[in-house]
Structure formats: structure tokens, C-alpha cells
Amino acid sequence: MAKWVYSFGGGKSEGKSEMRNLLGGKGANLAEMSNLGLPVPPGFTITTEVCTHFYANKRSYPAELKAQTAAALGAVEKIVGRKFGDAKKPLLVSVRSGARASMPGMMDTVLNLGLNDATVEGLARESGDARFAFDSYRRFIQMYGGVVLDIAHHHFEELLEHAKSDRGYALDTEMTAEDWKELVVDYKAMVEKELGRPFPQDPHEQLWGAIGAVFVSWMNDRAITYRRLYQIPEEWGTAVNVQAMVFGNMGGDCATGVAFTRDPSTGENAFYGEFLINAQGEDVVAGIRTPQQLTKAGREKQGAKLPSMEEAMPETYAQLVAIRTRLERHYRDIQDIEFTVEKGVLYMLQTRSGKRTAAAALRIAVEMAEEGLIDRKTAVSRIDPSSLDQLLHPTLDPKAPRTLLSRALPASPGAASGIVCFSADEAEALAAGGKSVILVRIETSPEDIHGMHAARGILTTRGGMTSHAAVVARGMGRACVAGAGEIRVDYAAKTMSIRGRTIAAGEAITIDGGTGEVFAGEVPTVQPELSGHFARIMEWADSYRRMKVRTNAETPLDARTARRFGAEGIGLCRTEHMFFEPSRILAVREMIVADDATARAAALAKIMPFQRADFVELFEIMAGLPVTIRLLDPPLHEFLPHSEADFVELARTTGKSVAEVKARAEKLTETNPMLGHRGCRLAVTYPEIYQMQVRAIFEAAILVAKAKGETVAPEIMIPLVAVRRELDVMRDHIAKVAEEVRAATGEAVEYSLGTMIELPRAALRAGEIAETAEFFSFGTNDLTQTTFGLSRDDAANFLGAYEQQKILVRDPFVTLDQEGVGELVKMACARGRTTRPDIKLGICGEHGGDPASIQFCETAGLDYVSCSPYRVPIARLAAAQAALQESASAASLVKKPAAKKSAPALDRHARVRLDAARRGAVRPAPGRTAPLARLAVAKKPVVKKPVAKKPAPKKAPAKKAPVKKAPIKKKPAPKAKPKTKTKSKRK
């Protein structure tokens, strides 16, 4: 019989933390904590498979579920000695959702379930506290009403407000038992009116109502939005946890709280959290009351008056500290925990790995490695490369003048300026229009997620460090200042005011989520310092990395930034940008409208010194490193004038009439410029352009070598090659210039010639192109465009629909399409290497900075990735993780067949990769051995079996080849190519 329900509690569980897929994160960890002997109220988890079943079967449950649930509930009753629905000693439960990945605030928890008109009396009698019992009952009606019965929140709020104002109360705490009892009557009447039927009194009906609501909520809008933002598959489903209630609201010796085992903002190894005395459930995170600090140090740091838990409940606090250590040792990661204290007894209600800022992630990883909790590889693997973005971006310029408006909680670091806006929808709309927005809310809720995502920063006037706004902002890497209680927000008037000053929607403010400060207007920012833990992780990452990381840069500023970030050369210098400078564009235009080669050469001669100066500066910055320069790529009409004044000026300098100049421009206009007269096609018709460029490159290299004693190794890259002969023609032009420069200066420049692979034909014919090309650089932007036949400039209009209808999972311009474009890349690599075993392979499209695509580049065995300067550290880390993963999977490949009998243990994909390793297709970088190849060599006996299964390679009779040599045996080298003419290592 299928098992749909897993029990936990009473010191043992049917589940464990590894069963997260089945039990959800919350359920799996409740089970694990219970197994560890921690005090967890007993309960059970209804699995995610029930959710799947629910949606696959017209929202119905598997037949066995009722009985299994009843049995599990019976077990809970036994442990706590209470009965569900019993009027004397009622068992109350919470019903909590819990998906595989934590989705904070996405699904609502119902507490105190099992209360009705009869059990509430039992609870009152038994606890001797009628006030507590009726307060719990009204909370239950309110939560259940909202979550399960879909009754709007404000109905309850209004009744509560009336109840208080009628009695002249300001606070909930002034309500007496009698008052709550009366409110319960009002609540029930209102529910009956809204619903058309009474509030359910049968605890079992309540239970199944709540379970159903959790499953249904998996498909609500906010859950769907969250899943889309974080790419959580819908198929995962959620589990439901039903757990015996414990009460943090039974008096002064009760409390509820949340904590992080380390500081989630800075990563400091200090216990960190908030709690509330005499409170239940989500009161801490909801921001209704301002919570107290967990530790004395924390309280002192904040200058708060109310005592910390350490001071108010020292014994319970000591137990909590012991659990903190226990959990960290067990999970070997920072934990985010929820707990409740009932009459001095501590209960654990949740643990999960804590969300942390990028800075905290680095510090925690480094310190845990140093503490010996994890090893360095784990430390490196733990950092999400994309999250480094948060650190690489500017912070407030300390010298800049500023007007402080308020200071509140530093909820998520980073500085952000933008215009104030008060609703998530507006924030989204303004951001879509290119505006920087600061979303200002009293507090945020899951409905605001899209606006928080669109905003640069978030400011709330209520709530603590663990409020919804703070948690979500940290996860998203948005700056956030929370709990700015001094600021009053008026949604209707769209203003925020503070100490007599009013700021309206649309005015700029700046927030610093690292200090909690809020400033008027825009405050300038400065670059971050990249040292300490960041440097440590990078150093470790670099020791595991196989691929090199270069940058795409053409300006000195970009090149310097990239070097500071650790770039190991330039992988793409786009020379067209250099043509657009105001001081040069006129000469460029003269060149374009020139009637013949002589006139063209004259115009080009004016541009040449500029180009040379550009390269001199770049080469100085990059001295000692390779620099790949792509010769002019875009169609010429991009440089042509647009305004009348420009045409007039061009006419004047060229001595032509305006009409003539315009006619020339007209002629250059193309129907489909993306597929038109661009790239090397330009130089087929106008070779002088490329000749000028390479002359500038060679002369610059000579100048820099003379001045610095060191220069770069220029790699000249020809764009848009489809046919090998195109490259041959370019090679000859370039060789001619090289010879002229040598004759004139007596110096020979060492350079290499290669090509972009950005057209499918080039990928297909890579074998013969490699006869001329000494390197390939995959221009995956154009290669994606041409492989899909999909215009990058127009795709945005409809790619959204493609993603929505799941035709494409990811935007192929962001993450490389491994199946299609990736196949071409792999094919071109293999064919290129067959011709030229030492061909250098890299990628220079946007994908070079995308971690998922970098992983692919590692498997494809590229030598380097190249990306924009700010992504260089991200790429370094992603490349290290890819190398670690690759060697881990190679290791498991080698192990698997050893455990089983023979090759069939390998799946097809694995076998292909193992073969690739054996053939050396996963190529080591010079001086290093690729992890796969290394392993295949090292573990010879194991590799033997898959070898034997495979059809023997044609030229090496496998039978006779000694086993130990098989893996390292190189294919007979292709007949050595004579060095191409371009390899001009002449003296």
C-alpha cells in the first residue's frame, strides 16, 4: 500500500532530512530534529505526492489517505495525551504547508485548529485561563476564515477595531476573556453571513478544509509568481504538516521567536534573533508588535530597552543556545529556526538553511571551512555565483553630502537610489519604463513580490529584521531598510512624511540597507572593496578552476575594472565602439561615402592614429595577457548620419552635395542588416578597413613593448566567417600588413589569427576553418540568433509567451540553449580539434557570464570564458564550481561500474562523457590535465569495462591494446599541419 503520511515526534520519526522531495523542507527537517532528540511537538506530514495526485485527479485524494491520516492523528493523541475534538482535553493542531524549496510566506499556516464552541471551554478550564482560550479561538476563526474560507481580512479587523473602540481600549492586550468571547460570537455571525453557512464546528471538517486549502494554495497567484521568479517547478508540489499545538501565548513564561544561528546580514558567528513574550505564531514576523532581541549583545547594539531573551529567560535561552550549536554541527550550515516557549518549556517548530546576504554567505563559508565544519571545496560550491553581484556593486560614497531623513533597521545591504513609489504594481510599471524605483510600504506581503523584484530598494515603516520585506529582500539581493517607524506613509495621498517633511511619489530618495539609513534625493555611490572573505573564496575557487576567465572590454575603464576583478585577458574587444567617438565619427563617415579605394584610404589614415592610441592604452593595461581583438563587425550604415545637420557637415568635408551624400546613405540601407553586409563581408569588399585596424594593432604592440618591455599577444579575430576561404582572404591581407610593418619598423609582432564561430555553417565546417584559424571564439549571441533564426532585437516581443507556454524554458539569449546551440558548439570544438589539436577555444557571448552556461563550457572543454567586467568574479566562481562538479561526476562515473557488474550501469550520457574523457576530447588546459581525463587515467581497471563494451576505435584494436594504455592512448595525431602563414613568429 502506498504510504502517503509520515509521522514525527516523541523522539523518533518515519522521515528524515534527506526526504525533502517527499516531505517538503519543513516536514523533512521536523522529522530530522525529532530524530536528533530535540523537543519537537509531534505531528505528521502528508507528502508532496498527495499534492501531485490531487492535481492529477481533479482535486481528489488517494483512497488510503483518510485512514493513514486518522492513524497518524491517533499517534499524536497518544503522545500528548489529548484527543482531537475532545471537550475536556482537546488536542489542537497547526496545519502548515511546506514545499521542497523554502517559499517564505507563500502558503498560510492555520493555528489552533480543533477549537469549537465545546473544546474552547475545555481549553479554558484546563488551562485555567479563559482569556487565553477565547483569544486562541478568535485567532483560529480569523486565520481559518481567511485562509480556508476566503473571507477578507478586513471583516475581522473591523470587528476587532469596533470591539476595542466600543470599550475604549487601545491595545489587544486590554481585551478580557469576556471581551474575546463576545468577539467570537461576532466573528461567527459575520462568517455565517459572508459564507451562507455557519463556521464549521466539526474538528475533522476543519482539518480537511485546512489540508485542502494548503494544496489549493499551491496554485494561487502569489505561489505561482514566486515559483516563476525562483524557477521552482510546479510539479514539485507541497506537503502538508499537521502538528500538535504548543502555546507561546499562555502568559509571561511563554514566548515565540525566530533566530538565525549566525548573523544573516554580515555572516558573523553570533546568535541572532528576535522573540516576543506571550505571543503566538507569526506575531514576530508579521510586524504587529516590535519584537525584542534574542541576545543581550543584540539588544545593546540596537539600543533597545526591552530585555533580551538572554536576560528575560536565561534558562530557556541556554537550552536554545545548545540547540543552535547542535543544529549547526548537524547541518553544517547556518540555520533559520522557529521556536516557541510554553510555560518555560522550549519547543522547536522549524529549521531550515538560512537565507543570507552574499557578504554573509562568503563569511560563513570561509569561517565554517576554517572551523573545520566543511571543507574548502564545499565552501566554494556553496556560494551562488550570481549573488556576488550584490557585492560588486557600489555603496554610498562616504564623502558625498547627504540629508538624513531617518534611520531604521539595516535589513538587506546595498545602497539604492530611486523614485519613491507606494504600490508594487506601480513599481513594476515604472521599472519596466526604465526608472529606478524605491518601493515604500508600511509592510510588505507576498502580494508585493513582483514590485519588490522590480524595485532597486525597499523601505518599510513596520516590521523587524525577519519581517517579510527583510527576508525577501535579502533573498533577492535588493537593498532594504525596514521598520522605519518615524516615517508615516499615506497610501491615499501617495506621500511619506517625516518630521514635518513630505515626500511625494516620484521624488527621489536613497536607502542604505547596510546601515539602515534613509536619505533625501540621490546620493552618489562608490566601488566596493574586494578583500577579506571575498578574496579568500576567490583564491580557493581559482585553485579548483580549469578554464581561464577573460573579459569583454574595449574601454580602458572596463579593462581596468576587469583586471581588478581578476580577468586573465580580453576575450572580446569590439572595435566598432572605437569608431563612434565624436572626434572620429566624421572621418569614419568620410570613409564610408568615399568613391574609391584611394579616397577611402585617405579617410582611414585619419582614423588610424586614434585606433592605435586606443590599442596602446588597452595593451598597457593588459600587458602580459592575451587580448582578442575583433575587427570591425557592424554594417556600415550604422555609422551614417541621421540628422540633417550631420548630412550637411559630411557634405562639406567631403566636397559632395547633400543629395549625393544622402543617396550614398540610401544605397547602404539594407532590408536585413543583421544578415547583410557586415563582419568579414565588409572586408571582402573594402579590405582597407581591416588593414588599417591591424596596422594600428601591430604598431601599438610594438610601441608598448618598447615602452614597457612587455606587451600583449594580440589575437586577431575575424567576425561572421561562414566559409573557410573568407578567413584565408583575411589572413593574406593581414599577413601583408604584418610584413609592411616589419619592413618599416624592423620589428615583427607575434600574433595569432582566429575566428568567431557565430554562424551554423562555420560550426559545421569548423574542421576546415581550423586549418586557417588558430583559435575559435564562440559568439553565442549571434550563434543563438542564427541557429534559432530568431532576431535578438525583436524576440523580446514574443519570447515571454514562449516561456509562459513552456515552449522554451529559458531565454536562450540569457542561458545557452545546450541542446541546440550547444550541440553546434560541441561539434565545432570536436571538428576544430581534429584538425588542430592545440586550437584555443573560448566563448565571448553574453553566456560567458552566465553560471549555467559556464557549466556547459566546462563540459564542452573550452579553454576560457569571456564576460563583461562586473561578471568576471561570478565567472571565476562558476568556472570553479563547474570544474568541481565535473570531477565529482567523473569520480562517480568511475565508481559506479565498479560497484555493479559492468558497463550498463552507465547511462548513455555518462558513457558519452567517459568516452570523451578517454579520447581526450575533454581537453586539459595547457599544463593541466582535465579532471575527466585524469580520472580515467588514474582508475584504469574500472575504465576497462566500458571500453570493452564500446565498438573499438577504428585504428586501435582494443583487444590487443594493453588495458592500462587504452584510456590515455591518443588518437593518431592528425597529420601535422604546416604552421599557417599567419603564425608570424618571424624575427
Interface positions with ligand ADP (CB under 6 A): 41, 94, 96, 105, 109, 111, 243-246, 256, 281-282, 338, 340, 349-350
**Cα–Cα dist 247/425, whole Å:** 38
Distance CA 872, CA 848 (A): 9
Among 593, 545, 402, 94, which residue's Cα sits nearest to residue 602? 593
Residue type, 814: V
Measured from the CB atom, is 43 or 571 closer to ligand ADP? Answer: 43
**Minimum CB distance to ligand ADP smaller for 232 or for 429:** 232
Residue 256 binds: one of ligand ADP, Mg ion, none (C-beta under 5 to 8 A by kind): ligand ADP
Can you read off the three cell numbers belonging to residue 134?
Answer: 477565547
CA distance 856 to 847: 10
Binding residues for Mg ion, rule: CB under 5 A, are 105, 338, 350
Q: Which is nearer to Mg ion, 282 or 333 (CB)?
A: 282
**Residues 513 and 416: beta-carbon distance below 8 Å:** yes
* Residue 516 Ramachandran class (φ > 0 left, ψ -120 to 50 alpha, else beta): left
Which of ligand ADP, Mg ion, none does residue 41 bind (CB under 5 to 8 Å by kind)?
ligand ADP
Shortest CB 96 distance to ligand ADP, Å: 3
- Residue 340 binds which entry of Mg ion, ligand ADP, none, CB below 5-8 Å type-dependent: ligand ADP
Shortest distance (Å) from residue 103 CB to ligand ADP: 8
Of 126 and 486, which CB lies nearer to ligand ADP in the complex structure? 126
- Determine if residue 526 is left, alpha or beta; phi over 0 gives left, psi from -120 to 50 gives alpha, anything else beta: beta
Distance, CA of 610 to CA of 606 (rounded, Å): 8
| Residue with smaller CB distance to ligand ADP, 42 or 679 | 42
Measured from the CB of residue 248, what is the shortest distance to ligand ADP in angstroms?
7
Taking a C-beta distance cutoff of 8 angstroms, is the pair 84, 203 a contact?
yes
The least CB distance from residue 419 to ligand ADP, in Å, is 32
Report, in Å, the least distance between residue 54 CB and ligand ADP. 19
Residue 277 CB, shortest distance to ligand ADP, in Å, is 14
Bridge partners for 417 per DSSP: 510
Nearer of residues 109 and 417 to ligand ADP, judged by Cβ = 109
Q: Kind and range of the H or E element at 519?
A: strand 517-520
Please give the Cα distance from 698 to 734 (Å, whole number): 10
Q: Which is nearer to ligand ADP, 342 or 774 (CB)?
A: 342
Question: How would you classify the pairing of strands 272-277 and 255-260?
Answer: antiparallel
From the list Mg ion, ligand ADP, none, partner contacted by residue 96 (C-beta under 5 to 8 A by kind): ligand ADP
* DSSP 8-state class, residue 953: P
32 binds, among ligand ADP, Mg ion, none (CB under 5 to 8 A by kind): none
Start-to-end Cα distance in the chain: 81
41 or 779: whose CB is closer to ligand ADP? Answer: 41
Alpha carbon distance 385, 380 (integer Å): 10
Beta pairing class for 345-353 and 335-342: antiparallel
| Partner that binds at residue 68, options ligand ADP, Mg ion, none, CB closer than 5 to 8 Å by kind | none
Write the DSSP string, 425-439.
Answer: HHHHHHHHTT--EEE
In the complex, the smallest distance separating the C-beta of residue 26 from Mg ion, rounded to whole angstroms, is: 7
- CA neighbours closer than 13 Å in the CB half-sphere of residue 717: 30
SS3 per residue for 525-565: EECCCCCHHHHHHHHHHHHHCCCEEEEECCCHHHHHHHHHC
CB of 350 to Mg ion, least distance (A): 4
Q: Is the Cβ of residue 349 or residue 917 nearer to ligand ADP in the bound state?
A: 349
Distance CA 3, CA 819 (A): 37
The site partner of 873 among ligand ADP, Mg ion, none (C-beta below 5 to 8 Å per kind) is: none
Distance CA 132, CA 135 (A): 5
Q: Provide the annotated active-site residues.
A: 468, 844
The site partner of 516 among Mg ion, ligand ADP, none (C-beta below 5 to 8 Å per kind) is: none
- Using CB distances below 5 to 8 A depending on partner kind, what does residue 374 bind out of ligand ADP, Mg ion, none? none
List, in order, residues 6 or more apart from 805 with CB less than 8 Å away. Answer: none
Cα 771 to Cα 477, 716, 836, 976, distances in angstroms? 47, 16, 7, 11
* 153-167 vs 130-147: helix crossing angle, rounded to 10: 150
Task: Find out whether 335 and 32 touch, Cβ atoms under 8 Å.
Answer: no
Residue nearest to Mg ion (CB): 350
Q: How far is the CB of 243 from ligand ADP (least distance, A)?
A: 4
